Amino acid sequence: MGGDTVTVTGWVHEIRDLGGICFLVLRDREGFMQVTMVKKKTDPDLFDMGRRLNRESVVLVTGVVKEANQAPNGYEIIPESVNMLSEAESPLPMDVTEKVGADIDTRLDSRFIDLRRRTTLAVFVIRNHALKAVRDFLANEEFIDIQTPKVVAAATEGGTALFPITYFNREAFLNQSPQLYKQIMMSAGFDRVSEIGSIFRAEEHDTLRHLNEATSIDIEASFMDHSDVMRILERLVHDVYEYVSRQCVPQLEALGVELTVPKLPFRRLTYDDALAVAQQQGHEIEWGDDFGTVAERAVGNAVGEHYFITDWPLHIKPYYTHPREDDSRYSKSFDLMHPRMELASGSQRVHSHSLLRQRIAVCGLDPDGFEFYLKAFRYGMPPHAGWGLGADRLVMTMLGVENIRDVVLFPRDRKRLSP
């Protein structure tokens, strides 16, 4: 390597002008490269141009490689030419060197530049590997990856706020979940389907763990019950942690994160158990209530690791949730919890056409509006189960990130629609 002539491209990360010697530090996604110009040896025009570069400009440098102990990667380049490919304006909208902190809004307003920061890049490299681990895991388990429509005519669950859009001369909505379509795929005989895609929720959230557009990892599997798909889910989470801890050592180090791979199997608390824990901690919550954020945290702190809450009261779960055969006040459902928040919800689904029609009506919805879905239950629908896992929440909890906006490239919330 030493003595070779090379050409490198990158952003001008830093310029250290010491008078007689000037260091340019170039940056690309792999790291840093030092370009060293010595006044007495470098062509004067080149020296002058180099020291006057604007930070964050994109340049192409050709020069000879030399070993240099002091340089970031043990080498420096003695330049023969520096070509400006794209000059950056000055001042910059925000600092890239991480010496100066910036609040989340400033960072998101100039996301392209925020993403040049080492730590922000590290988050998205890890996110990429986490989702690769998810895809590999599901492919190994013989799930068929599908893409269902995001523009739909009807609400999946009613109730939940939807984003209406104009579809030619009709009203349509952005889909809040692939639920109905992945179930239809069970009738289609696909056995096991998975989808990683956007879900849209129009609730006016103002929290650190909700966005109005999120990424969901969904599965649906035939001839399985809720326990079967819980086992798939915990193994998946385990594998993602393991894969990331092996593949992302430099990124985890950059973020100062020490990953602990969660142990299998995850603890299972029934809803009644979890309720008792919350009540013991002084939370006023009654049977049949959903856990509020604070009660959820209290149970999470008591457990201290990933866990499931199973056997939810039927009436607080969606109509497609299967009742328990022995006691229909309860359902064959679960939430996967990280101590900090919910990561996934799943269940065995109702596969009987008549029961499903009835459940839709009991939940206050009009079964006729669901005919496209119900039709798939009338001509041979196997028993099936599935879950939806929030990809953003999986990544944020894994990395101990406070704000979901930090793990989404261009987050969409009530206030933010751009960039």
Q: How far apart are CA 284 and CA 315, in angstroms?
A: 19
Active-site residue (options: 210, 238, 340, 359): 210
Q: What is the 3-state secondary structure (H, E, C) of 293-342?
A: HHHHHHHHHHHCCCEEEECCEHHHCCCCECECCCCCCEECEEEEEECCEE
State the distance between the two ends of the chain, measured CA to CA, in whole angstroms: 42
Could you tell me the two tokens for 178? 């692939």
- Residue 343 interaction partner, one of ligand ATP, Mg ion, none, beta carbon < 5-8 Å per kind: ligand ATP
Is 30 catalytic? The answer is no
Active-site residue (options: 13, 118, 127, 201): 201
182 touching ligand ATP, by CB under 6 A: no
Piece of the chain touching ligand ATP by CB under 6 A; list 77-85, 162-170, 364-372, 386-394: 386-394
Piece of the chain touching ligand ATP by CB under 6 A; list 11-19, 112-120, 230-238, 387-395: 387-395
116 touching ligand ATP, by CB under 6 A: no
Is 201 catalytic? The answer is yes
Q: How far apart are CA 155 and CA 320, in angstroms?
A: 13
- Residue 211 interaction partner, one of Mg ion, ligand ATP, none, beta carbon < 5-8 Å per kind: ligand ATP
Is 345 catalytic? The answer is yes
Could you tell me the two tokens for 386? 């599935």
- Give me the sign of the Cα torsion angle 287, 390, 139, 267: negative
Binding residues for Mg ion, rule: CB under 5 A, are 345
Piece of the chain touching ligand ATP by CB under 6 A; list 72-80, 239-247, 297-305, 337-345: 337-345
Is 329 catalytic? The answer is no
120 sits in which H/E element: helix 118-140
C-alpha angle 268/224/135, rounded to 5°? 80
Whichever of 76 and 342 has its CB closer to ligand ATP, that residue is 342
Alpha helices by DSSP H, 259-411: 271-280, 293-303, 353-362, 371-374, 391-399
Q: Determine if the peptide bond prior to 265 is cis (ω within 30°).
A: yes
229 touching ligand ATP, by CB under 6 A: no
Is 210 catalytic? The answer is yes
14 sits in which H/E element: strand 5-17
Active-site residue (options: 203, 253, 305, 371): 203
Among residues 56, 195, 220, 342, which is the contact residue for ligand ATP, using CB under 6 A? 342
Which residues belong to the active site? 201, 203, 209-210, 342, 345, 393
Residue ranges that bind ligand ATP, judged by CB under 6 A: 201, 205, 210-211, 214, 216, 342-345, 388, 390, 392-393
